[in-house]
Amino acid sequence: MTAASDSPVEVTLTSDSDVVRVRQVVRDAATAAALTLVDQTKVITAASEIARNTLTYGGGGTSTVEVVCRNGTQGVAVEFVDAGPGIHDVDLALTDGWTSGTGLGLGLSGAKRLVDEFALDTTPGVGTTVRITKWRR
């Protein structure tokens, strides 16, 4: 099954190779949604950042990629779900330069800037869900 089909594609995130797989599936969906090359790059980069966070900080999880349509406009929606420790301070986590690890602190905030829609739902001790959407222009 590819993201170009009508069905969402789910990728389980348990290793670095799964992050690469998410990038490939998002690329397929972005192509199917006829996003520009720049917008394809943006949504792939955002998805890659969040997939890496899901793996590193959430202990793994799942990613669901789908081509979506709203008011006749196609886009790509990607949802990441983990059952990790959650994010204790969302505002801080979305601050440029802040990191709970060794990265540059641009993962979540950078991903948010790259997409048209960004939703984060987290409960400490329960897990985190992030949904991003990039629409065709």
pLDDT above 50 (res 37): yes
Cα separation, 136 vs 35, in Å, equals 5
Cα separation, 98 vs 113, in Å, equals 16
pLDDT above 70 (res 12): yes
Is 77 or 87 the better-scoring residue by pLDDT?
Answer: 77
- Specify the pLDDT at position 91: 82
Q: Is 44 left (phi over 0), alpha (psi -120 to 50) or beta?
A: alpha
pLDDT band at 3 (very low <50, low <70, confident <90, very high): very low
- Specify the pLDDT at position 1: 37
CATH of domain 9-135: 3.30.565.10
The residues spanned by each domain of the chain are 9-135
Q: Is 96 exposed, middle or buried (0-12, 13-18, 19+ CB in 10 A)?
A: exposed
- Specify the pLDDT at position 21: 98
